[in-house]
Structure 1
Amino acid sequence: MEGLVSVVIPVYNGERFIKDAVNSAINQTYSDIEIVIVDDASKDRTEEIIFGSFNDLIGKKIHYYRNEKNMERAYSRNFGVSKAKGSFIFFLDYDDIWEKGYVSESVKYLQEYDIVYSFPRTFIDEKGKVIRRSTKKIPKTIEEILYSSMIGYPTATALRKEKFSGYKDKYIPREDWEFFLRSFKEGLKIKILDNDKVFMREHGGRTSRNPVFWRSTLKVYQDYINQIPDEYHHLFLFSIGEVCLRFGDLKTGWKLIIESLKKEPSLLADKRRLLSVLKRGFRIDRILKKGGSPSQ
């Protein structure tokens, strides 16, 4: 049994990329799709581009809503779901795109699972050119993926509408990871696909480069550390520690990294993980960027 898919696209000042995102949803091989766009009070030409490019579909296949003021992306996604008519919800960020078979494959698994997550492999630049492909090895269990913070991108997330409990503003921009932590705790069945069908766009505006990413990561840590099973504590601590090191919070970062290694020394057997800690923990990344000595 299949059904209507609602693609929820929150957008704020997305004039450069929104057309590509909407087209990637329209061009899916799965035909029973509606697109719900929630414009978070954009100040650029986002609305003009949407209506100029898709005017014939507005009110039919595409439903456009505009917040009176900027409410942030968690609210916009939640609002979009409240307006969605489909049995299945697919989130798509305005700056990302999908391969045309993405929805069709995910829907097959949504007959059995509550949430389907397609592990992102391909990253594109502002012009849509592939700049890198991830070769990262995916852990075998959902627990390892979840507590290592290897899951979250809304663009890669599809779910049954009745299972959606909402994104929480307090965790922005880690609200996506927190959603998975909470959903798993509530007993939802999550399927991981490694199919390279979602393309993530890298540009200067992505929130993963903003210090608020570090602060919200610490909020997740504070609220969830006592809920993580003991056998996965080391993964959770290490993932939080890595973020702290990346943003220069060396004291907290090293504290968590050392604590995680006391629980599981074999973590550093992973060469990729070891290199990441060395680069960030000793600010080698800063030296390479500046071409000089570290500032701290």
Structure 2
Amino acid sequence: MTAKVSVILPVFNGERYIRKAVESVLNQTLTDFELIIVNDGSTDNTLNIINEFEDSRIVLVSQENLGPGAARNRALEKATGEYVMYLDADDWFSPDAFEIAYAEAKEKDTDFTFYQMINYDDVSGKTYPNDWFELKNFDESFEDRVFSPDEIKGSIFDLSVGVCQKIYKISFLREIDAKFPEGIFFEDMPFFYYVLLKSERISIIKRHLYFRRKHDESITHVVDGKFLDTVPAGQELIRIFIENGWYHTYIYDLLAYKINGPRFALRDIEEKYKVDMYLLIKNDYDAIKQSQYYQDYLDNLGPVKKKFFLDIIASENYEDFTRLNQQNSGPA
């Protein structure tokens, strides 16, 4: 029998937080769901904690550590629900999240629906908003109606790409063969843009349905080695836009977005990763220079991003790049 909502929860060594995440699902006001937990090669006490829950709605999948993209793809193949919602192991849902999100998606027959998230600081115990998670890019004219990607053409790169902030119609995801990139972090980003631009019916819910925990181990809390993956994630994004005929429509904002992710990562990443980060970007830009798209970057990048792009290409090593980039460097 088909559940109304399939919840996909990948977890790797999540013993500190997994209990609260699972309980937030099991205590929902909408009870017709399945919870697919993918134990992604955990080596701590995660699996024992999961096994403490005795609930027929839990489907446990165990695999070697392949990362969140592979875990989510495998879970989606198993999902039997009408709609799917995603949960990270250190976060949790509000008690009425499924009821509200499902009702909205079902009533408006959306391909996917955004809802608000709110940050929770693990140290202070306080919640705080930010503009992305508040859906501030959608003014009142978007509320309580269905819209298409064409209506937000100029602002798609200002949207939250996080997969956990939406409820998706499973038949739609399968129809378009939506898959997460595997083996890299920041896998939400290319997935989101593919799904967004393939969709026709979108809506928003201005309610906080999801709590996003910020702590020392959060992927985006420290700019560490995971941020090396901003390069392959950006390459995947460009591939998706080119292959689906969206590249020229969004070229100016797309190329700025492509450059800025790794540019800021190189600026902020821990010192021990800077050379590796530089080399990834250098290899990427050298390949672009040899491609048919090189002139597009020269024609469409703003002065600061263009200087960064050309300094990387002109440099022979990270020290050389640092010297070049500091010359006549404008504001970020």
Q: Give the TM interval when normalised to the shorter protein.
A: 0.7 to 0.9
How far apart are the structure 2 equivalents of 1:39 and 1:205? 18
Larger Rg: 2
Alignment-derived partner of residue 228 in structure 1 = 246
What secondary structure is seen at the aligned counterpart in 2 of 1:155? helix
Q: 1:153 to 1:244 in 2, by over 3 A?
A: same
> Do the aligned residues in 1 keep the contact of 2:40 with 2:62 (CA within 8 Å)?
yes
How far apart are the structure 1 equivalents of 2:111 and 2:127? 32
Which segment drifts farther, 107-116 or 226-235?
226-235
Alignment-derived partner of residue 315 in structure 2 = none
Report Cα offsets for 1:143-180 as digits up to 9, x if no partner.
3443x152321221211121223433357323222122
> Do the aligned residues in 2 keep the contact of 1:126 with 1:202 (CA within 8 Å)?
yes
Which residue identity does 2:81 align to in structure 1? G
Q: Which runs of 5+ in 2 are unaligned?
A: 140-150, 268-277, 283-295, 304-321, 323-332
How far apart are the structure 2 equivalents of 1:79 and 1:168? 10
State the Cα distance separating 1:119 from its structure 2 match: 3.8
What secondary structure is seen at the aligned counterpart in 2 of 1:207? coil
Q: Indicate which of 75, 78, 103 corresponds to 1:80.
A: 75
**Is structure 2 residue 211 aligned with structure 1 residue 199?**
yes
Query: How many pairs are equivalent?
Result: 255
> Do the aligned residues in 2 keep the contact of 1:242 with 1:257 (CA within 8 Å)?
no
The 5 A counterparts of 1:98-247 are 98-111=93-106, 112-120=109-117, 122-126=118-122, 129-135=125-131, 137-139=136-138, 141-146=151-156, 148=157, 150-164=159-173, 165-170=177-182, 172-208=184-220, 209=223, 210-224=226-240, 226=242, 227-228=245-246, 230=248, 232-247=250-265
> Do the aligned residues in 1 keep the contact of 2:137 with 2:158 (CA within 8 Å)?
no
Q: 1:104 to 1:45 in 2, by over 3 A?
A: same
Q: 1:184 to 1:49 in 2, by over 3 A?
A: same
Q: 1:3 to 1:39 in 2, by over 3 A?
A: closer
Q: 1:153 to 1:241 in 2, by over 3 A?
A: same
Alignment-derived partner of residue 291 in structure 1 = none
What's the TM-score once normalised by structure 1's chain length? 0.74
> Do the aligned residues in 2 keep the contact of 1:241 with 1:257 (CA within 8 Å)?
no
Report Cα offsets for 1:18-40 as digits up to 9, x if no partner.
11111111122212122111101
How far apart are the structure 2 equivalents of 1:85 and 1:42? 25
Q: 1:168 to 1:103 in 2, by over 3 A?
A: same
Alignment-derived partner of residue 4 in structure 2 = 4
What secondary structure is seen at the aligned counterpart in 1 of 2:212? strand
Q: 1:162 to 1:224 in 2, by over 3 A?
A: closer
Q: 1:128 to 1:80 in 2, by over 3 A?
A: farther
> Do the aligned residues in 2 keep the contact of 1:36 with 1:84 (CA within 8 Å)?
yes
Q: Percent identity?
A: 21
State the Cα distance separating 1:204 from its structure 2 match: 3.3
Report Cα offsets for 1:15-68 as digits up to 9, x if no partner.
01111111111122212122111101100100111123x1x22xx12121211x
What's the TM-score once normalised by structure 2's chain length? 0.66
Alignment-derived partner of residue 57 in structure 2 = 61
> Do the aligned residues in 2 keep the contact of 1:171 with 1:220 (CA within 8 Å)?
no
Alignment-derived partner of residue 38 in structure 1 = 38
How far apart are the structure 1 equivalents of 2:206 and 2:34? 25
